[in-house]
Amino acid sequence: MKQTKRPLELHSWAFPKGDDPLYEDYREHVGPFYMTPWEVFAITFRDFSVKPGELTVISWTLPQTQATKADNRRETFYPSERWARARIFGEQVNEKLRKHVVATLESNGYQAVAPILTPQFSTRISPKYGLASTWSERHAAYASGLGTFGLCDGLITPVGKAMRTGSVVARIDVPLTKRPYSDHREYCLFFTEGICGKCISRCPVGAITEEGKDKPTCYNHLFPTTKDYVTSEYGFDGYGCGLCQTGVPCESKIPKKEDAEALNV
Ligand code: SF4
Ligand code: SF4
């Protein structure tokens, strides 16, 4: 049965085009395994005639709740239970949201796919950055105009850095969202004002320095340290940290100088 296309209403989300040159830049920097929106779409639908410009990346952010942030703010080594639960079960909700967006688009006659739910999504080793994925939700959100990167590598958005993000690639024509920034570190006080660095002291294992984040050090804290802790103390199979996302000036907003001063940094 031929599906008819109906206009969709999507609020407060962001839409870069599939032919945004940033995606080729990502691949150049991260490695040849990094997928462009075109690749994800063409491989999924076996349609190699689709033009990158016919595709739109739909990207969103889901802020952590006030209670989750407040709990994790108090922690100094392990994640709070709420944070660990949000990391696992909140992400399951995010996964359902991806599927829901895809299903909604498809039921309205638009082909769509969530890159990180495809068989092509995996973790690889980038010659430049070490551990890296074939698709990055944070980089899709950056391309969409939703935020810029902080010293700790997290994405600072208008709802802050304590959030989760997701994306879907669709063959749909919607008005492009303009990026309200010109630099990938524009919202981080360390790069703009030469102040802050609060995420450095929040990290319990010294993974963040003025040079940025050391991914293996962070990873080794998550696994097995936080995984063992979450299993034994909270009673479920999970992990998490997010200390560098909470108790920092960029936790819940794009920070200003005063926000750093308020935290004595
Ligand atoms: S805590 Fe400060 S230095 Fe770290 S990412 Fe946020 S604004 Fe940048
Ligand atoms: S997630 Fe935790 S271990 Fe990793 S950089 Fe942030 S504070 Fe450090």
Q: Ligand 2: distance of its center to the CA of 221 in Å? A: 8
Q: How far is the CA of 147 from the centre of ligand 1 (A)?
A: 13
- Residue 177 CA to ligand 2 center (angstroms) comes to 31
What are 222-257's pLDDT values in tens digits?
A: 999 999 999 999 999 999 999 999 999 999 999 999
Compute φ and ψ for 157, nearest 5 degrees: -120, 175
CA gap 96, 90 in Å, rounded: 10
For each successive 10 residues of the chain (265 residues), what is the average pLDDT?
41 74 94 96 97 95 96 98 97 97 98 98 92 95 96 96 96 90 97 97 98 96 98 98 98 95 85
* Ligand 1: lining residues by beta carbon, under 6 Å: 150-152, 188-190, 196-199, 248-250, 255
The closest-lying atom of ligand 2 relative to the alpha carbon of residue 199 is 7
Burial of 67 (0-12, 13-18, 19+ CB in 10 A): exposed
Residues with CB under 6 A from ligand 2: 152, 202-203, 205, 207-208, 213, 218, 221, 241-244
Ligand closest to 208 (CA) is 2
Q: Closest-lying ligand to the alpha carbon of 226?
A: 2
Each residue of 124-161: pLDDT tens digit? 999 988 889 999 999 999 999 999 999 999 999 999 99
Whole-number Å distance between alpha carbons of 40 and 150:
27
Q: Whose Cα sits closest to atom 2 in ligand 2?
A: 241
**97 Cβ contact list (under 8 Å, min separation 6):** 60, 62, 166
